[in-house]
Amino acid sequence: MQIRQAQEQDSNHWDAYFNKHANGTFYHQWAWRSIVEKIHRHKPLYFIAEENGVMLGGLPLFHMKTFLGGSVLLSIPAAVVGGICFENSEVELLLIEKAISEARRLNVDYLVLRQIEPLHKKMVVDDRYANIIVPLTDMEEHFKKLNKDIRRRLKRCFKEDMEIEIFSKDIDTFYKLYSQGMKRFGTPVEGPRWIKSVFHAFPDNHFISNVKYKNKIIMTKMVRIYKDQIFPVISYGDPEYKNLYPQHLLTWKLMEKGYQDGQKFYNFGRCIKDSGVHKFKMGWNSSEETLYYHYYLHNQKAMPDHSHSSNTRQRYSKIWRYLPTPVTNIVGPMIRRCYL
């Protein structure tokens, strides 16, 4: 068995492996590597484990050198999951050792492998996060299993004169609303170039869904389809209309669409366990899938905290809310490239 660095000519072979693997994610795809390398300018280091020409595992890494995060080896940037995929324990250990050897060679502060399942090697693990996943079954029966507060709010939504637009490609309108909303929350956003690149690279996997009230968009969401799941990626809701619960209505309509189109799961994405967001997402008859962020600490003694609830992020958020919009639109993408 050998481990070698993947090259551009391996892209089809790489995608075929990860798209078939049970733990392969959207972010493992080669085109995601290209977007991160081109726009965020992080250096990719992708490795293939193979024997007799058969791929037995893969290790996607990026070397990030930023003014906020220091020097980090990460799998994968701008993604909540990533990490290594493998066929057996021998390949698993070889790829972990390869990742650690690269961390040492590059003399980074630390290495992070964002795994769906825990690795069989003793490492520092952050397991505070979980993906919240809803199985899509008969929607009439599903409605009965929802949290009573969600059912009540949906019943109110059904009575309101809100218009649903499930499929749109109006990226410019979406981005304008989304960036305005995130500024209010104190969160820098990716630039429009990033979102347009994602739509361009994966045109069949993405669309935008809107809720309109009196001809005004009051809720907008970027949606992703991958394998047998439908994902809400990023969204914005106008706070003036929050009591109409457009978020609830659009979530329900997307679940209906997913079920009708043959998707098996609605994946709410990542959140911190036992948080308010976690409680809301679990109310949709959901189950949680713990995420395992494995750390190898090289030049850093303690595991860093990059969560939204960290003291550092909270301080930055308070400042960000009061900056002029032209400034946040320029500086925001520069800061986002530093996010792990």
Q: Is residue 279 part of a domain?
A: no
Domain identity same for 72 and 118: yes
Domain identity same for 107 and 43: yes
Three-class SS state of 201: helix
pLDDT at 158: 94
Which residue range is the domain that position 193 belongs to?
A: 137-263
* Tally of domains within the chain: 2
With both helix axes pointing from N to C terminus, report the angle between 171-185 and 192-201 in degrees, rounded to the nearest 10: 130
Q: What is the pLDDT of residues 210-253, one digit of tens each?
A: 999 999 999 999 999 999 999 999 999 999 999 999 999 999 99
Q: How confident is the model at residue 73 (pLDDT cuts 50, 70, 90)?
A: very high
The tally of CA atoms less than 13 A away on the side-chain side of residue 225 is 18
pLDDT at 305: 80
Q: What is the pLDDT of residues 257-266, one digit of tens each?
A: 999 999 999 9
Domain identity same for 114 and 146: no
pLDDT at 181: 86
Judged against a pLDDT cut of 90, whether residue 336 lies above it is answered with no
Domain identity same for 21 and 89: yes
Q: Is residue 274 part of a domain?
A: no
Q: Is residue 325 part of a domain?
A: no
Q: What is the mean pLDDT of the chain?
A: 94
Domain identity same for 229 and 256: yes
Burial of 155 (0-12, 13-18, 19+ CB in 10 A): exposed
Judged against a pLDDT cut of 90, whether residue 180 lies above it is answered with no
Comparison of pLDDT for 338 and 253, the residue scoring more: 253
Q: Is residue 213 part of a domain?
A: yes
Domain identity same for 152 and 225: yes
% residues pLDDT > 90 (the chain)? 82
Strand 110-115 relative to strand 70-75, pairing: parallel
pLDDT at 340: 74
Judged against a pLDDT cut of 80, whether residue 310 lies above it is answered with no
User: How is 10-46 classified by DSSP, letter by letter?
Assistant: GHHHHHHHHHHSTT--GGGSHHHHHHIIIII-PEEEE
Of 47-61, 278-292, 300-314, 325-339, the range with the lowest mean pLDDT is: 300-314
Per the CB < 8 A criterion, the answer to whether 145 and 135 are in contact is no
User: How is 247-300 classified by DSSP, letter by letter?
Assistant: HHHHHHHHHHHHHHTT--EEEEEEEETTSHHHHHHHTTT-EEEE-EEEEEESS-
CATH code: domain of residue 295: 3.40.630.30
Cross-strand bridge partners of residue 45 = 61
Domain identity same for 154 and 192: yes
Judged against a pLDDT cut of 90, whether residue 186 lies above it is answered with no
Q: How confident is the model at residue 322 (pLDDT cuts 50, 70, 90)?
A: confident
Residue with tokens 């057996």: 88
Q: How confident is the model at residue 46 (pLDDT cuts 50, 70, 90)?
A: very high
Q: How confident is the model at residue 117 (pLDDT cuts 50, 70, 90)?
A: very high
Q: What is the pLDDT of residues 1-36, one digit of tens each?
A: 999 999 999 999 999 999 999 999 999 999 999 999
Per the CB < 8 A criterion, the answer to whether 106 and 73 are in contact is yes
Domain identity same for 7 and 78: yes
Three-class SS state of 336: helix
Burial of 247 (0-12, 13-18, 19+ CB in 10 A): buried
Domain identity same for 193 and 76: no
Q: Is residue 317 part of a domain?
A: no
pLDDT at 335: 87
Q: Is residue 280 part of a domain?
A: no
Domain identity same for 102 and 84: yes
What's the pTM value of the predicted model, to 2 decimals?
Answer: 0.94
pLDDT at 183: 85
Report the candidate in 217, 1, 223, 26 with the shortest Cα–Cα distance to residue 93.
1
Q: Is residue 328 part of a domain?
A: no
Q: Is residue 225 part of a domain?
A: yes
